Structure 1
Amino acid sequence: PAVPRADPAAVDPLSPEGAAALARSHAGAAQSLAELEQAIRAFEGCALKATASNTVFADGNPEADLMLVGEAPGAEEDRRGLPFVGQSGRLLDRMLKAIGRDRSSVYITNVLPWRPPGNRTPTPVEIAACLPFALRHIALVRPKLVVAVGGVSAKALLDRPEGITRLRGRSATLDLPGLAGPLPVFATFHPAYLLRQPAQKRLAWGDWLRIAEILEKQSSPVP
């Protein structure tokens, strides 16, 4: 007898490929931030969800022109359910204040909504399962500038293999469904990295001045 053929569309949702495909499908179906948050909270394709205390969605102003995309929640973020609220968040707040911003004038999220155990670096499989949600998040917010904060975010959004010391200060563009045109992305250090490597704060300050300059140019009327 003939052996039944497997349906090619039936991808194992527990496989890395299946999890990423499922994430793309669920993320793409979300037509609002509320729907996206609901889709992320219902998603079972990333093992990090089982070990995290909270799903960390976002903070700040979704109408802001500046969107920050970090890596993943830390211990304090996981406990409180908000991004960048620990020691790294306090440093981020100071950097924002230095360019005349605060959390009411930016929107903040992470590539991964769940904390990796022990704050370890997320695996490529975990990133692949969560990235579709982050990209849809960006498309729904429609900021004028995205800042990739840290190596995981920079590699994912700039689609480059280098580490953050090479990627910081670089710009690229994102082409996402639903956007009118390419969206600029700028990479900089994660505050947690700066707390470990304070000598790099000078370079980070230059990055934030550049971010402020980009936003100012975007808001200036064309002569």
Structure 2
Amino acid sequence: MTDPINSELLETLGQIRGFFQDLQQVGIGEIPLQELPAELPACPPGICGVDRGGDALCRAETLEEIRAELEGCQRCPLCQGRSNIVFGVGNPNARLVFVGEAPGREEDEKGEPFVGEAGRLLDRILFAMGLERSEVYICNVEKCRPPQNRDPRPEEIEACEPFLKRQLAAIGPQVIVTLGKFAAQTLLRDQAPISRLRGHWREYEGVALLPTFHPAFLLRNPASKREVWEDMKQVLAKLRQLSGEGR
């Protein structure tokens, strides 16, 4: 008895041979192939990996490309008082991303997020989770420091938010943790207070998102550290579940 797989293979090869014979009969001796560029272009946000109307496939843009576009940014008045753009740090392929609100004085001076007292508390939280900064990615909604560390204004968030969205798309995390009211409200499009948002799983662009209190809030309200630790235990459980360890 003929193997069914071999039979199908022979039939397919016969069809291909017939196709090329038909081409020869109408005078077509070769089929031109479209040349792909040496390096695929970066996709516009939201359509990575799809065929753009017959063009070559695009690729996800890199964090370095996004950072380069922010160089010398003057999209809102915060540029006037900044020392450095505070873009983000950590693993560009991180499974877990922390999104804060805006840089403070020490972050502005160093050009790195969460390096002040609140940042040191975040480091202790990561240590308790069994993680290091190099394993996660940390960034802010705002990339420039508001004067006197005031709250970001809506127009400032609007100017910076597209870069945050592109950062998250480039990283492709499994879990996002928002730190504080403005980070949660910006990504969730939900104006509920952080006291109601925290501890409840939501989604951002198909990614699991958990809002929690900002470390600066914990410095003023140490009793809330217990609630944040409960949130972080949820995050660890979610990461285990998504990696298949919880099965």
Q: Aligned residue for 1:17?
A: none
Query: SS where residue 135 of structure 2 aligns?
Result: coil
1:141 aligns with 2:176: no
1:186 paired with 2:216, answer no
Deviation of the 1:43 alpha carbon: 2.9
User: How far apart are residue 185 of structure 1 and its match?
Assistant: 1.1
1:75 aligned onto 2:99? no
Q: What is the aligned counterpart of 1:118 among 145, 148, 157? A: 148
Residue in 1 aligned with 2:87?
Answer: 57
CA shift for structure 1 position 39: 1.2
Kindly provide the amino acid, as one letter, of the partner of residue 167 in structure 1.
L
- Report the secondary structure of 1:104's partner residue: helix
Please give the alpha-carbon distance, in whole angstroms, between the structure 2 residues aligned to 1:55 and 1:217: 36
Matching residue within 204, 224, 228 for 1:200: 224
Opposite residue 107 of structure 1, the aligned amino acid is: Y
Answer whether contact 1:157 1:185 (CA < 8 A) is retained. no
TM-score, normalised to structure 1, is: 0.82
Alpha-carbon distance in structure 1 between the residues aligned to 2:70 and 2:195: 31
TM superposition shift of 1:222: 8.3
How big is the shift at 1:28?
4.1
In the aligned structure 2, how far is the partner of 1:46 from the partner of 1:98?
37
Structure 1 residue runs of 4 or more that deviate by more than 3 Å after TM superposition: 27-30
Higher RCO structure, 1 or 2 (CA under 8 Å, sep 6+): 1
2:240 and 2:246 in contact (8 A); partners too: no
Task: Give aligned pairs, total.
Answer: 191
Partner Cα separation in structure 2 for residue 124 and residue 206 of structure 1: 31
Match of 2:243 in 1: 219
Preserved contact between residue 45 and residue 169 of structure 2 (Cα < 8 Å): no
Measured in 1, the distance between the counterparts of 2:197 and 2:217 equals: 14
Letter in 2 for 1:40: L
SS in 2 for 1:57: coil
Structure-1 separation of matches of 2:246 and 2:182: 35
Long gaps (5+) in structure 2: 1-43, 47-59
Q: State the match for 2:180 in structure 1.
A: 150
Quote the sequence identity (%).
45
Pick one of 197, 220, 236 that aligns with 1:167. Answer: 197
Q: Please give the per-residue CA displacement for 1:46-69, whole angstroms capped at 9, x wherever unaligned.
A: 111111111001111112210111
1:129 aligns with 2:153: no
1:209 aligned to which of 226, 233, 236:
233
Q: CA deviation at 1:85?
A: 0.5
Deviation at 1:42, TM superposition (A): 3.8
- For the pair 1:41 / 2:65, whether they are aligned, the reply is no
Q: How far did residue 221 of structure 1 move?
A: 5.5
Output the CA distance in 2 between the equivalents of 1:49 and 1:164: 28
Structure showing greater Rg: 2
Distance 1:202 1:165 in 2: 14
Residue 85 to residue 222, structure 1, CA distance change in 2 (3 Å): closer
